[in-house]
């Protein structure tokens, strides 16, 4: 069964492109992945994986002297079961600091 309920996830993340790529490399260690500009494909199997699009980097002003980097990250799950997508997201979230309350 394909992950119809988890086909696409979109997040606004407080990270630079450089930091995103460095952290992603750690998060997907052991998997083949390729980067072409702002497009990344993480191969989890011969026909399955995660397509990631990283939007333009912005630095909105939070306070008069504080700018935080921000990018829109869109992930599309290709050929993954709901369980497989969940495992990928748990690892991704752990490396990017989501859910560490």
The pTM for the full model equals 0.83
For the segment 77-99, what is each residue's pLDDT rounded down to a tens digit? 998 888 889 999 999 999 998 86
Mean pLDDT of the region 8-27: 94
CA count, 13 A, side-chain hemisphere, 7: 4
Strand pairing class (71-78; 49-54): antiparallel
pLDDT for 10: 94
We find that the CATH architecture of domain 4-96 is: 2-Layer Sandwich (3.30)
Lowest-confidence segment of 1-10, 39-48, 52-61 by average pLDDT: 1-10
pLDDT for 70: 92
pLDDT for 2: 45
Q: Where are the domains of the chain?
A: 4-96
Cα distances (angstroms) measured from residue 61 to each of 57, 90, 99: 13, 30, 25
């Amino acid at each position: 069964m394909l992950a119809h309920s988890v086909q696409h996830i979109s997040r606004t993340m407080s990270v630079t492109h450089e930091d995103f790529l460095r952290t992603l490399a750690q998060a997907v260690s052991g998997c083949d992945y390729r980067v072409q500009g702002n497009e990344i494909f993480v191969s989890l199997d011969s026909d399955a994986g995660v397509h990631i699009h990283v939007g333009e980097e912005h630095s909105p002003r939070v306070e008069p002297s504080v700018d935080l980097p921000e990018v829109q990250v869109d992930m599309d799950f290709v050929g993954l079961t709901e369980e497989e997508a969940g495992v990928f997201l748990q690892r991704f979230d752990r490396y990017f600091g989501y859910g560490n309350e």
